[in-house]
Amino acid sequence: MKTIDIESHFTDLDRAILENNVEYERYIKFVTHILDAFTTTFAPKEGAQEHEAHIVRDLASRFLLTLRALGLKYLFEETDHMRIDLTASGFPNHLEIRKMAADLQQLKGGGTKPVNEETLKRQLLDELIRGNSHPTSILRKLARAQYNKSIEEGGLFGEFVPGQLRELKVFDAAKHRKRFLCSWASFDTVTNRPFLYLMVFDNHPDPDGPRTERVDHDPQFVEMVRRCTHNTAPLKVVASDIDEAYAWVHPKVLKRIDVGPILSMHDRTEDEHAKEIGRHIPEGHFLMRVTTEIVFSVGQERRSTGFLSKSELREVFHVDETNKDCMERMVSEVQKYLFTTHTVLQYLNDQHKEMLKELSAPPFICKPVF
């Protein structure tokens, strides 16, 4: 990918623009190839983690669809360009995700006139028959129409994406005491990366309390989760915030999956270690990190919620103090994965074996992008 003189347009490399439409096509092909490899890795498998595999695959698929939709939006644009984070991300700038929501509101509000795709296709065919091999104007309208259709159909990624709520276990049906698995995702404005969340929690509502204390009947439960989701905060803080938000919700396990960054020869990071690796990654090859953090409860304790108020049960979350990485992240467990090509893996084996030793599983080998 070629970029124009970024510093003459922006002060930060997380808002880079590419040289031309051909480079944007290559970029979308490149990043969607990598995300597709990640998504298919989490194909559902039989066993205890089958639910988790379904959830991760579905949330990752939404992000993949979003990248493809953005590709349509900018495919034939000549003046409006997509901003890309070429530092510790490799994904589009978070403003692009935000603008998709604004585009949808404009469509719903009638601010964008509907276009008949079949009419545009006939016009395109007429132009080609007349010998016009580059009917850019019609191609732009057709791509934009397909983009509008994709955001209207929904199922795309946003700044916050509600997932699923699954009932895992019933402790007391009469008192509605149950265990749930819920999921959600978000696109972080600081790191410009997607984060996926899974949480196992117990719901112990007051039998005489309001129906909304049963999370499967609470319209505000998802909003509470959204407010408590801070992607760059320690995971223990996120879990504690959710625990304190509702007295009847008790998080038992919270998992966060950080997808990225993508490192390639196009990266513009200021990190010297990443720069050195990037110089040895050929065109079409890549290295993508995926980090999973887990924090789990090891019990409960009673804490006062304020002056003259009754105490409430709060979860005690475990931090593995024997592991430096866990201590710094304030989590119980950290798992690190790598998605790369065979060529890059050979280089890492020769020059950066320490990087491979810290992985939780052998690297996932993917095909390069040509």
Q: Give the span between the Cα atoms of 56 and 59, in whole angstroms.
A: 5
Backbone φ/ψ region at 85: left (φ over 0), alpha (ψ -120 to 50), beta: beta
Domain segments of the chain as ranges: 6-153, 160-366
Q: What are phi and psi of 90, to 5 degrees?
A: 95, -5
Tell me the average confidence (pLDDT) per consecutive run of 10 residues in the chain, 370 residues long: 42 70 87 92 72 89 92 83 88 92 86 73 75 76 86 90 94 95 95 95 94 95 97 96 95 96 82 85 94 96 67 91 96 97 96 93 93
pLDDT at 13: 57
The one-letter amino acid code at 274 reads: A
Query: 350 — phi, psi (to 5°)?
Result: -80, -40
Cis-peptide into 368, omega within 30 deg: no
Q: SS3 for 52?
A: helix
C-alpha to C-alpha distances, 319 to 36, 133, 335, nearest whole angstrom: 33, 62, 14
How many C-beta atoms lie closer than 10 Å to residue 61's C-beta?
17
Within 10 angstroms of residue 183's Cβ, the number of other Cβ atoms is: 23
Let me know: does 207 contact 176? Beta carbons within 8 Å: yes
Residue 12 is predicted with a pLDDT of 55
In the chain the beta strands, taken as DSSP E runs, fall at 160-172, 177-187, 194-203, 249-263, 287-304, 311-317, 333-341, 364-366
Residue 121 has a pLDDT of: 78
Dihedral sign for Cα 187, 188, 193, 197, please.
negative
Rounded Cα distance between 66 and 84, Å, is 14
Distance of alpha carbon 275 from alpha carbon 352, whole angstroms: 13
CA 349 – CA 287 distance, rounded (Å): 13
pTM here is 0.90
How confident is the model at residue 11, as a pLDDT? 40
State residue 305's pLDDT score: 61
Alpha-carbon distances of 3 from 20, 22, 27, 84, 268, rounded to whole Å: 8, 11, 11, 10, 11
